[in-house]
Amino acid sequence: MSFQIHSSCANTSARTGTLTTAHGEIPTPIFMPVGTQGMVKTLSPDELTDVVDARIILGNTYHLYLRPGLDVIRKMGGLHKFSTWDKPILTDSGGFQVWSLAKLRKISEQGVQFANHLDGSKTMLTPELSMEIQATLGSDIAMLFDECPPYPCEEKYAANSLGLTSRWAQRCKDWHVENAAKHVPWMLGTEHAKLETHQRQLIFGIVQGSTFADLREQSAKELVSIGFDGYAIGGISVGEPEHEMIRAIDNAVPFLPTDKPRYAMGLGTPPQMLEMIARGVDMFDCVMPTRVARHGLAFTEDGPIHIKNKAFEFDARPLDETTHPSLQKYSRSFIRHLFRSREMLSLRLLSLHNLHFYLRLMAQAREHIAAGTFETFKDHFIKRYTKN
């Protein structure tokens, strides 16, 4: 068993656990910084370990397949060696990126044909190719190839899309069982069936179904019948209002196994993550902490602040009293000056701080779940965070 639950909240569905992978153990609930090109923008692997305390990062299958390409990563020994990140990596399947190329793609039973955003050339991405790319990258967790329906969409479209995703899910699982050991760097020369679960590349299913409760239930049940190492809820944070996002989670989680990790894809804000943890979600990823950092926004326990605002011109305080000790010495005034001067250091400091804030929030959630005080912590945090 690769996932072990340690404690549960008496008043919510929150739980703590450990997900064991080939490159280490991951405490849950956990947030995964996004490294689109194999590493988080402007940051080094050492900073992610020493300052952020990241336990796992996310890599982007679509972008890494196009550049630098599989030949380079294969020759360099896989994504871990290539990037020098020695902890777990999760790779998305490329499905979301293809969804974002709506005007440049054509979906069929075979897969998705799309125009390469780098040079415009036609590329066909199939479930099997997505699995092969992720196996060659050597991620600890691979995601199945799915279609992410747009928001809003008609129920008929969502149902047809769900059917396609379920058929693709079976193809992904079949390819993975038969071929992963021929491509995953640390599995080469082994037999898939003879490896312990944590010794092989894990594969997660993705629940779809848009905003329709019956389709979310159907998707979850179909994926569970195929059998995966964990289950993600996809098709959220794609433009829908927050209450629809929460409903999508509520309509999926009850039909997922309690002994497998649950992953809300593309979430989210600190309050959203705490609400999802209360609903039994274990894993999160989002570009928000680093993307908003590049626009001068910093997360604090009193809510986000825009560092370029004049209110911080003479502010000698650190970004937040909870920030990492190595960042405490930088004043809001100085970071504001750097940001207004377009100095790269401001983006790095804000990115480090925001990611540290997210990972610290996950650590706090784990501590309070174990102590039996999670619900009180969640309510107090959200009340203070949203006060202003």
Range of the domain at 142: 3-286
Residues 268-318: tens digit of each pLDDT: 999 999 999 999 999 999 999 999 999 999 999 999 999 999 999 999 999
Q: Give 197 or 234, the one with higher predicted confidence.
A: 234
What CATH number did the domain enclosing 168 receive? Answer: 3.20.20.105
Active-site choice (53, 92, 174, 302): 92
End residue of a domain, out of 286, 315, 340? 286
| 120 in a known ligand binding site | no
At CA 149, angle to CA 259 and CA 293, rounded to 5? 80
CB 279 within 8 Å of CB 12: yes
Q: Are 373 and 253 in the same domain?
A: no
Q: Are 282 and 320 in the same domain?
A: no
On whether the pTM is more than 0.95, the answer is yes
Count of structural domains, the chain = 2
Q: Are 266 and 300 in the same domain?
A: no
Q: Are 208 and 293 in the same domain?
A: no
Asked if 285 is an active-site residue, the reply is yes
Q: How far apart are CA 377 and CA 382, in angstroms?
A: 9
The lowest-confidence range among 150-164, 177-191, 221-235, 356-370 is: 177-191
Q: Are 297 and 280 in the same domain?
A: no
Residue 124 has pLDDT above 70, yes or no: yes
Q: Are 113 and 207 in the same domain?
A: yes
| 93 in a known ligand binding site | yes
pLDDT (0 to 100) of residue 85: 98
Q: Mean pLDDT throughout 101-123?
A: 85
Count, in order, helices (H) and strands (E) of the chain: 14, 17
Active-site choice (229, 282, 285, 320): 285
DSSP 187-226: GTTS-GGGS-GGGS-EEEEEE--TT-HHHHHHHHHHHHHH
| 96 in a known ligand binding site | yes
198 forms bridges with which residues in the sheet? Answer: none
Q: Are 328 and 197 in the same domain?
A: no
4 forms bridges with which residues in the sheet? Answer: 18
| 92 in a known ligand binding site | yes
Q: Are 83 and 220 in the same domain?
A: yes
Q: How far apart are CA 18 and CA 15, in angstroms?
A: 10
| 114 in a known ligand binding site | no
Q: Are 293 and 282 in the same domain?
A: no
Six-digit token string for 351: 């990115």
Q: Token match 């499905």: residue?
A: 95
pLDDT (0 to 100) of residue 119: 86
Split at pLDDT 50, 70, 90, the class of 378 is very high
Q: Are 165 and 17 in the same domain?
A: yes
Six-digit token string for 132: 């092969």
Q: Are 197 and 73 in the same domain?
A: yes
End residue of a domain, out of 232, 264, 286? 286
| 146 in a known ligand binding site | yes
End residue of a domain, out of 223, 255, 286? 286
Residues 172-205: tens digit of each pLDDT: 999 999 999 999 998 988 877 778 888 899 999 9
Going by C-alpha positions, the residue among 218, 142, 153, 212 that lies closest to residue 175 is 142
Going by C-alpha positions, the residue among 143, 170, 146 that lies closest to residue 96 is 146
Q: Are 135 and 171 in the same domain?
A: yes
Residues 56-70: tens digit of each pLDDT: 999 999 999 999 999
